[in-house]
A = this chain, B = another copy of it.
Amino acid sequence: MKKNEIPDIIVSRLPVYLRALRRMQSQNQQTTSSQELGEQVGISAAQIRKDLSQFGEFGKQGTGYNIAFLVSKLREILQVERVWDVVLVGMGDMGHALARYQGFSDRGFRVAMVFDNDPTKVGEQVGNFVIRDTNEMRKAIQESGIKVAMVCVPAAVAQTVTTQLVEAGVKAILNYAPISLNVPNGVRVQYLDPSIGLQRMTYYLE
């Protein structure tokens, strides 16, 4: 089956399954069931079995899933058995937090370069990085072949930065700026705007 024939909603659940399985693994658990996994992630066992069946036959009736095997398969499907270099743009509070974030290393990502357009920040050391000028960004991305970026700039400049990233070859953008980004076909954006997350929930509050 071709990549784009799998509904994106299914793809979106695979990282959640992987995260839960890795956690079981870290607790030395060897096997699991769709029931147990479902309880941990809040998704029905039937849905999990249906999602995974899109990609192959990973479990056995009665004995369940071998966790190490399923982890390995999911990492392969999501292409995170390798490590992706990530460029980080915008070194405000959120950019600083992401530059120091410890949660990328064993999940397929590594912040490789950090940029800002503020001359007072350029040259500053943040964790293992020296903040570089966004003027150098396009060339640096092209030379390194980086495909993944995180955008933490103010809303007013987020589209301009995004266009520069796309022109430099970036294909996947995690956007923290509170604005919808326009990107060409073949480029993907995921949004992490905390106010959007909160507003989705206040709808239901009494």
CA gap between A18 and B40 in the complex, in Å: 33
A190 CB contact (under 8 Å) in B96, B97, B200 = B200
In the complex, are the beta carbons of B42 and A182 less than 8 A apart?
Answer: yes
In the complex, are the beta carbons of B16 and A196 less than 8 A apart?
Answer: yes
In the complex, are the beta carbons of A93 and B86 less than 8 A apart?
Answer: no
CA gap between A178 and B22 in the complex, in Å: 11
A56: interface (CB < 8 Å) = no
A100: interface (CB < 8 Å) = yes
In the complex, are the beta carbons of A42 and B180 less than 8 A apart?
Answer: yes
Please name all residues of chain B whose beta carbon is closer than 8 Å to the beta carbon of A86 when the two chains form the complex: 198
CA gap between A195 and B102 in the complex, in Å: 11
Given contacts A180-B42, A182-B42, contact A198 B96 (CB under 8 A): no
Please name all residues of chain B whose beta carbon is closer than 8 Å to the beta carbon of A84 when the two chains form the complex: 198, 202, 205
